[in-house]
Amino acid sequence: MEKHILLIDDSPTMRLSVSFCLRNAGYKVTEATDGKDAFQKLQLLKDKDDSLALIITDINMPEMDGITFISKIKESELKFLPILVLTTEDEESMIGKGRAAGVSGWLLKPFQPEQLLWAVKKVMWSK
């Protein structure tokens, strides 16, 4: 059974690029445009009894940013689900906020497909 990943990014180009990379590696991908949209998608997946193996999220997004989203996930029944951040944010203070919120890994854009796939396997394997 293919592992299912929720991808959250407000950039259509980035979602297309990351989804293409993940799907070519054999993963099932559900896309969301921001944290608020992601919670709606999570409810739909729950209603279908479709479980996730990983969430990949950006930080800077409208409606609900990545740190807020991560904090809310870690307070839910999905608190043990690994979360990988894929962002342009490279400041230590932001990375620290991510760690405090409970992220499993932090990657910078632009990404190399091999680097993304390695990180995805690593955080899912350690689950």
Residue-wise pLDDT tens for the chain (127 aa)? 689 999 999 999 999 999 999 999 999 999 999 999 999 999 999 888 888 999 999 999 998 999 999 999 999 999 999 999 999 999 999 999 999 999 999 999 999 999 999 999 999 875 5
- What is the structure's pLDDT at 11? 96
Closest by CA to 122, choosing from 60, 53, 38, is 53
Which has the closest alpha carbon to 86: 1, 42, 22?
Answer: 22
Domain count, the chain: 1
Res 126: pLDDT = 57
Q: Report the DSSP pairing between strands 54-57 and 4-8.
A: parallel
* Residue 3 structure tokens: 């592992």
Distance CA 101, CA 18 (A): 23
Q: Please tell me the pTM assigned to this model.
A: 0.94
**pLDDT of amino acid 1:** 64
Domain ranges, residue 80: 4-125
Q: Could you tell me the CATH number of the domain that includes residue 68?
A: 3.40.50.2300
